[in-house]
Amino acid sequence: MGKEVSAVETLSGAVSLFASGKSVDVGAGKGSLVKEGQPPMKPVNLPPAPEPPVLKKVYKLLPLVLAAPVVTDGSAQLRITVDQAGNTTVWSGRTADGGTFSLSGLEDGRYCAFYSLISSRGLQGMESRPVCFEIRTSPSTPVLVSGYPGGIAFGDQLRMRWREVGAAVKYRLQLAADAEFSTLIKDIVVGGTETTVEGLAPGRFHIRVAACAEDGFQSNWSRPEVLTLNRPPFLTTRVPSGEDVLLQWSPIGEGTCELQIASEESFASPVVSQTGLDKSEYRVNRTLSPQKWFLRLRVVHADGTASVWSPPQVLTVEPPHFGWRDGAAVGGFAALLLLCL
Q: Where are the domains of the chain?
A: 5-45, 58-135, 144-230, 238-317
For residue 159, the SS3 value is strand
Burial of 105 (0-12, 13-18, 19+ CB in 10 A): exposed
Residue 296 Cα distances to 23, 170, 309, 314, angstroms: 94, 37, 6, 9
Listing DSSP states for 207-259 in one string gives: EEEEEE-TTS-B-PPPPPEEEEEEPPPP---EE-TTS-EEEE----SSSEEEE
Residue 17, pLDDT above cutoff 90: no
Confidence of residue 316 (pLDDT cuts 50, 70, 90): confident
Q: How far apart are CA 260 and CA 272, in angstroms?
A: 5
Q: What share of the chain is helix, strand, coil (3-state, %, to 5)?
A: 5, 45, 50
Q: Does the global pTM surpass 0.85?
A: no
> Tell me: the pLDDT tens digits for 116-149?
999 999 999 999 999 999 999 999 999 999 888 8
**Pairing mode of beta strands 292-300, 256-262:** antiparallel
Which H helix or E strand runs over 328? helix 324-340
- Which of 2.40.50.140, 3.30.413.10, 1.10.443.10, 2.60.40.10 would CATH assign to domain 144-230? 2.60.40.10
> Tell me: the pLDDT tens digits for 173-230?
999 999 999 999 999 999 999 999 999 999 999 999 999 999 999 999 999 999 999 8
Confidence of residue 98 (pLDDT cuts 50, 70, 90): low
- pLDDT of the residue at 340: 41
Using alpha carbons only, give the angle 137, 143, 148 rounded to the nearest 5 degrees.
Answer: 170
The architecture CATH gives domain 238-317: Sandwich (2.60)
Query: Residues 6 or more apart from 110 whose CB is under 8 A from it?
Result: 82, 132, 133, 134
Q: How far apart are CA 9 and CA 95, in angstroms?
A: 20
Amino acid identity for residue 212 in this structure: C
Candidates 113, 116, 115; CA nearest to 9 is: 116
Q: Do domains 58-135 and 238-317 have the same CATH topology?
A: yes
Q: Dihedrals φ, ψ of 340, to 5°?
A: -80, -15
- pLDDT of the residue at 329: 47
Confidence of residue 325 (pLDDT cuts 50, 70, 90): low
CB 154 within 8 A of CB 231: yes
Q: How far apart are CA 88 and CA 78, in angstroms?
A: 14
Least confident of 35-44, 102-111, 165-174, 306-315: 306-315
Query: Residues 6 or more apart from 266 whose CB is under 8 A from it?
Result: none
Q: Is the Cα dihedral 159, 163, 167, 172 positive or negative?
A: negative
Radius of gyration of the chain (CA): 38
- pLDDT of the residue at 315: 86
- Top pLDDT among 50 and 251 is at 50
**Pairing mode of beta strands 109-118, 131-135:** antiparallel
Q: What is the mean pLDDT of residues 88-112?
A: 92
| Fold of the 58-135 domain | Immunoglobulin-like (2.60.40)
Mean pLDDT for the chain?
Answer: 88
HEC string of 132-155 equals EEEECCCCCCCCEECCCHHHEEEC
Confidence of residue 248 (pLDDT cuts 50, 70, 90): confident
Q: How far apart are CA 49 and CA 126, in angstroms?
A: 5
Number of Cβ within 10 Å of residue 89's Cβ equals 12
- pLDDT of the residue at 180: 97
Burial 41-68 (b: 16+ CB within 10 A, else e): bebeebbebbebbebeeebbeeebebbb
Least confident of 14-18, 62-66, 100-104: 14-18
